[in-house]
Every structure is written in structure tokens, then in C-alpha cells.
Copies of this chain bind each other. A is one copy, B any other.
């Protein structure tokens, strides 16, 4: 028997007293983690070479299955504490004011696979990040038209992907506060890179919450319910938490922490992915981002010696920035690293603070290369 939560009609009544997930492990990778790595696409780091992640290289997370939806019968319901409940078709949304924004999204669990012990979920290395031009219509004016009640507290965004997590059957659903939802940058997006959303990115419509980790940008969106009281969704209260154990409620995961990643230089080995490159001057490049504002500084370290990189201005308020520095590579093994600082003064840590769910891992990435004469 499955425990069912009716999320279609009462997403705010999610049961949150779920069984604890498997504990973190120091053992070998399990078959379940491998399958999650296969299903949830990681961007190979050379994809950072492109300012906009090419189609199909953007990371994906799908909690359950990719829904197979008919855009003709699909509807978005806006209901609850509103004066005028709405039921919108895709055409309705496409007729509304159109806005395109380049937005960097990162999975909150990116880097989880590097933790010890390892939380049992998608074992990301560092590739759960991407930047795309998303096109849609701003959410705030729609909420205004629906007549958001003065007493509105939280909004619950529910997607069509349905499955079982921690023993509970559910639709994927996340809440935002009314203030967060009314932010002018929040979009209802129906295109990615100028094309209809691919199914795995939320076709026909997804929420897009720039600056936040990806879990907030609910895909396959079917319902926005306005509540006059705090929401209690499984995916806000049981997952996506900075916590230290199964019994620790911890703090919610929200905006992306400042981070930078290097494009791996040189040539890889097929199996080991060990890299080698020829001696001489080489341009090291990478991308840096933060959900707290623009990146103002990136340092690159060669064998622990830090130097400032050139940082390009952002191409959009919520898009990553390119950095580059010339390195005159001399023969031998070398360790490369990069460290970004954002306008809020946050700096990437050198070591990763462990959390029970493996969230917000933004420690400095290190990579080793062998330079040959």
C-alpha cells in the first residue's frame, strides 16, 4: 500500500511526518545512486565554454518521471485566497507580455557526491548548473489580476510530476511567500533558448525564480494556490534543508551561494578523465555566479598561489559571468582552483561544510592536470 497525499486539491495539507530517508553513507556508491546519476543529467564541465548552455547540456533534475502532457488540455489554475480564480491555457499565457532573461540555475545538491559521508540522493560532482535564455510572462501581474488577498501568506506551486518520496505519494510542490512570488523577476516560462520547453525542463510551463537554487523553479506547473496561512509542503519542509541530521529541521535552502567553476584545460583520458596539456601559455576560463548579486572578483590559484582573474560583466542580472586568466604552464603536475566573491561580500569557502542532505556545496573546486613538455 502507498500512503497518498492529495496534492491536486489541497497541496497545503501535505503530510510532513515522513519516514526518515536512508542515512548518509561512507560505503561504495549504490545502484540507486548510479541510476539517479544516469537519469538526472549533469553538464560536462567543457559546457562552461558556452555563455548560454547549449540545448541538451543544461543539467536536469526530475524528482519522479518526466510527465507526458498534452498542451491542448493542460491548464494552469490560480486559486485559493484570490478574488478571481483563474484557469489559463498556454495560449492565454503566450498572449500576455513576453519577457526573455538569461538565468543561471544550479541544483542545490550540486557537489553532493564529494561529501563524506555521502547523503543518499543524486551523487552530483560539480556539473549540476546551466544558463539558458528563458522566455515567459511575469507572474506578478497575473497575481494582481487574480486579486491576491491582503491576507495572502504563502503560494504553493504544484507540478504534474507525481511519485513517492520518503514513503509518501505526492505531486512535486514548493511554496514561496507572497513577497517572493511577487518579485518582478519571477516568470512563468514557456520557452528555453527560443524553443518550447523540452519535456524534461517543464513543458509546457514552469516557474522560474531567478537567483534561487533550481528546486524553487517548479516544472510542469499546473496549480498556484494562494494561502492565508503558512504552507507546509514536503519539498519545503522535509527536503532542501541545511540540516545536520534526520531530526534536525535546519534552515530552508533558498538562493544560490557564490560559486565558480573552471573549464578543464588540455586533453582528457577516456576512462580516468585525467587531463594533460602541452607546456606554454594557455588561457584558463570559467564561469562564476551568485544568487546574492553580481560576482565582483574571481581568483585563480595555480598550486595554491592565488592571482586575480579578469571578470566579464554579467550578460543578465541573473546570469553567470565569464572569468579568464593566462597561465604559462610549465611541465609537471599542477593543481588549479578558482574562488569567486560576490557583491554581497560572500566568498567561496576552501572546505565544504557538511550537511545531512548535501545542500549548497560551493567550496572551491580543485582540479589536477599534468603539463607535458
Contact = CB atoms under 8 A, between A and B. Distances in A.
Contacts of A120: 271
B165 A63 contact: no
Interface string A111-125: 001000000110111
22 contacts: A28-B28, A28-B29, A34-B37, A34-B123, A35-B125, A36-B273, A37-B38, A38-B127, A39-B273, A55-B56, A56-B57, A56-B200, A65-B264, A65-B267, A163-B267, A163-B269, A163-B270, A164-B267, A164-B269, A165-B270, A165-B271, A166-B270
A149 interface: no
Chain copies in the assembled complex: 2
Contact of A34 (B21, B29, B39): B29
Nearest to A60: B56
Given A55-B56, A64-B267, 5 more contacts: A34-B123, A38-B124, A44-B62, A46-B66, A56-B56
Contact of A125 (B38, B198, B271): B38
- What is the size category of the interface that chain A forms with chain B? 35 or more
B47 A66 contact: yes
Nearest to A194: B195
Interface of A: 1-2, 21-22, 27-29, 32, 34-39, 41-42, 44, 46-47, 49-50, 54-58, 60, 62-66, 68, 113, 120-121, 123-125, 127, 162-166, 169, 195, 198-201, 264, 267-273, 276, 372
Contacts of A1: 372
Contacts of A267: 64-65, 162-164, 169
Contacts of A62: 44
A201 B60 CA distance: 18
Contacts of A124: 38
Contacts of A49: 68
Contacts of A41: 41, 56
A254 B46 CA distance: 30
B57 A198 contact: yes
